[in-house]
Amino acid sequence: MLEALARAVYSTLDRSRRRPLLAFLVLAFAFSWLDWGSILVTGARVVPGRLPTDMFGMAGPAFAAFVVIAIEGREAGMMELARRIMRVPWRSAWFWILAPGPLWVLLASLAVRSAAGLPVPPATAFARYPGLPPLPLPTVFDLVLLGAGFGQEIGWRGLALPRLQSRLGPLAGAMAVAVPWGVWLLPLLVVNPAWQAGTAGAAQALAASALLLLASSVLLAFVVARTGGSLAAAALWHACLRMAMVTEAGRETTGLAMLMVALVGATVVAGAEVIARRRGGSILAVAPSRS
């Protein structure tokens, strides 16, 4: 029996080494869906101002990325991933322009509302984040940066993106990440009551979310490529996006504007990438993972 178990473990590890991207997806889905499924089974829901939280499940892609690289036995790969996580290109203008991008859209939207005489929520209103109890705004942002930002980007942009780009090309690879990323997020449509506003509302929300994921995949690839592969930059962009769109104040004031800006930005980046490829270059290429 022990011998059979050992063979099964060895076979699983061998398949994981030969198909690391598939192994990453299986582990990420299993880790996250187990957490979100437990919330669903208990009948609880993720709502602003109180627990339970979906933040633990958000770390599934990061967990999967570390496990897969460890199974591959690549010490250099683990060091490369660690360097990308810690890389913060402070002197790069691209970092300051791109990484907090959703924050600039949020501030512009609030300025427009103020100029139009519409109510502008106070800064504390952005601390009401689904699944988190009442906390100071900086603490909420730090938790979102750690859980939703690094928790997702270490996997999606750290492991999946370089491998998909090496197979499909910079633009197609960036867009392809949106497919498993979107499927991975599906349980949250049930766990979060905001998605249960009726058939028409749910269908519109699902379509908008799909477009946002596709646009975000292209924009995040651009952020990573322009900042030397920095996953810290991608995590910051992701955290700013969620603070601007997932908090109660963000959904009410900037959700539609953020979607439109993301779609326009992704279209511009995709067009620029097509032109760059015709000239033999790329603005989306991320250095491939060392296999």
Place of tokens 């498993």: 180
Does the residue 56 lie in any domain? yes
User: CA 53 to CA 191: how far, in whole Å?
Assistant: 10
Does the residue 222 lie in any domain? yes
> By residue range, what is the domain housing residue 267?
2-278
237, 242, 244, 246 alpha-carbon torsion, rounded to 10°: 170
State residue 288's pLDDT score.
46
State residue 269's pLDDT score.
97
CB 265 within 8 A of CB 215: yes
Does the residue 288 lie in any domain? no
pLDDT 10s per residue in the chain (291 long)?
544 434 443 444 445 556 789 999 999 999 999 999 999 999 888 988 888 999 999 999 999 999 999 887 667 888 999 999 999 999 999 999 999 999 999 999 999 988 988 888 888 888 999 999 999 999 999 999 999 999 999 999 999 999 999 999 999 999 999 999 999 999 988 887 655 544 445 677 778 888 999 999 999 999 999 999 999 999 999 999 999 988 878 877 787 888 899 999 999 999 999 999 999 999 998 754 443
Closest CA to 66 of 161, 155, 165, 157: 155
State residue 19's pLDDT score.
73
CA–centroid distance for 202 within its chain: 21
Does the residue 164 lie in any domain? yes
User: CA 85 to CA 83: how far, in whole Å?
Assistant: 5
Closest CA to 174 of 209, 210, 223: 223
Closest CA to 141 of 126, 125, 156: 126
User: CA 32 to CA 123: how far, in whole Å?
Assistant: 30
Does the residue 284 lie in any domain? no
Does the residue 285 lie in any domain? no
State residue 72's pLDDT score.
79
Closest CA to 27 of 58, 55, 67: 67
* Prediction pTM value: 0.90
Cα-trace Rg, the chain = 20
CA–centroid distance for 133 within its chain: 22
Considering its fold, how many domains does the chain have in total?
1
Does the residue 34 lie in any domain? yes
Does the residue 287 lie in any domain? no
User: CA 68 to CA 182: how far, in whole Å?
Assistant: 21
CB 248 within 8 A of CB 134: no
User: CA 282 to CA 192: how far, in whole Å?
Assistant: 38
